[in-house]
Amino acid sequence: MEIVAFGVQADERPILEQAFAGRHQVRCLDVFLDRDTAPIAHGYEVVSTSVNDDLSAEVLQTLAAGGTKMVAQRSTGFNNIDLEAAADLAMTIGRVSAYSPYAVAEFAWLLALAVNRRLVPAANRTRNFDFRLDGLMGRDLHGRTAGVLGTGKIGTAFARIAHGFGMQLLGWDLVENPQCAALGMRYVPRERLFAEADLISLHVPLTEDTRHLVDAAALAAMKDDAILVNSSRGGLIDSAALVETLKARRLTGVGLDVYEEEAGLFFYDKSLDVVGDDTLARLMTFANVLVTSHQAYFTEEAVGQIIRTTVANVEDHLAGRTSAHLLVTRGQLPAAVR
């Protein structure tokens, strides 16, 4: 059987092809799935997608009409998929429920350290043989407080690194994680976390309850010299409110690997285009803001694990098996997803 995979990165392609070798052929496309590209999948029973592909009801209907029975998403997040529509179309939807938490946690720390120590401006200066230190002073993180919103596997990995730096730990989650408690983490209401943390890192999924978790009120509650990092989902932060906060000369630094309107921008080369997103353009003008293009997960270990799980999801679908990675199984939504 031949599978079509959308949104495949150049470094990802050989891993994907090797993983399916001897099982199925895979047609790797660098274009992303949306209403215009969905007809490409006509005749393919299995379609593999990335986190920034559009799997709205309209796109799913086009896929189903072309014979697609399964979508195997190569990510943990699935907020881009209309699961109710997939169930109505009797489709199977798979995702990767977990992969290397260290990839994202380590990258979140990279962002935090880079904005704290002004690494990008410093590197730009020295490249031009400007070796002054003016404006590059950072702060010791040892002894300060790290606030972790979401203490699952990634949040726990982030907390362990913070503990290694000698930081105090505050956490917020629906359920307390004993592994984090063993590090000395104190679970507090999120309002207190926003107010007391020197470094705040987001590690919760994007749901209707967490959308704009960091809104104008949360930003106002933060310390003027706090550092904010988001390597989870862009919609967790109200980007317009963040711009206003930065314009008021608040927050020491912001590291963003995700952006709430990143679809259609991230993973594309827009260097010669006029980008019409005024909010993103404004964020990029702040010297204390570092934006990367949703690459926190992008390590050999994490991508390898994502693709191995994707292959397993496809094999489970073809064999009629269910697994914890399937969000919709032949039109049936698990109770936890409904």
CATH of the domain at 115: 3.40.50.720
**Whole-prediction pTM:** 0.90
Report d(CA 303, CA 326) in Å as an integer: 19
Range of the domain at 220: 101-291
Q: What rounded mean pLDDT belongs to the chain?
A: 95
Report d(CA 308, CA 310) in Å as an integer: 5
Task: Flag whether 334 is in a domain.
Answer: no
Instruction: State the average pLDDT over residues 317-325.
Output: 91
Q: What is residue 264's predicted lDDT score, i.e. its pLDDT? A: 87
Q: pLDDT tens, 163-213?
A: 999 999 999 999 999 999 999 999 999 999 999 999 999 999 999 999 999
Catalytic residues: 233, 262
**Adjacency order of strands within the sheet including 227-230:** 186-187, 168-172, 145-149, 199-202, 227-230, 253-256, 289-291
Handedness of CA 71, 73, 78, 79 (dihedral sign): negative
Q: Number of folded domains in the chain?
A: 2
Same domain membership, residue 110 and residue 63: no
Same domain membership, residue 269 and residue 162: yes
Same domain membership, residue 206 and residue 280: yes
Q: pLDDT tens, 275-307?
A: 899 999 999 999 999 999 999 999 999 999 999
Would you place residue 332 in the very low, low, confident or very high pLDDT band (cuts 50, 70, 90)?
confident
The type of residue at 244 is E
By percentage, how much of the chain surpasses pLDDT 70? 98
Would you place residue 338 in the very low, low, confident or very high pLDDT band (cuts 50, 70, 90)?
very low
Q: What is residue 335's predicted lDDT score, i.e. its pLDDT? A: 46
Task: Flag whether 273 is in a domain.
Answer: yes
Q: pLDDT tens, 215-274?
A: 999 999 999 999 999 999 999 999 999 999 999 999 999 999 999 999 889 998 999 999
Q: What is residue 155's predicted lDDT score, i.e. its pLDDT? A: 98
Would you place residue 334 in the very low, low, confident or very high pLDDT band (cuts 50, 70, 90)?
low
Report in angstroms the alpha-carbon separations of 123 from 117, 118, 182.
11, 9, 38
Same domain membership, residue 249 and residue 202: yes
Same domain membership, residue 178 and residue 322: no
Same domain membership, residue 95 and residue 106: no
Same domain membership, residue 240 and residue 224: yes
What is the DSSP secondary structure assignment for residue 40, as one 8-state letter? G
Task: Flag whether 66 is in a domain.
Answer: yes
Same domain membership, residue 230 and residue 218: yes
Q: Could you give the count of Cα atoms lying within 13 Å of 83 in the half-sphere of its Cβ?
A: 18
Structure tokens at 166: 């000698």
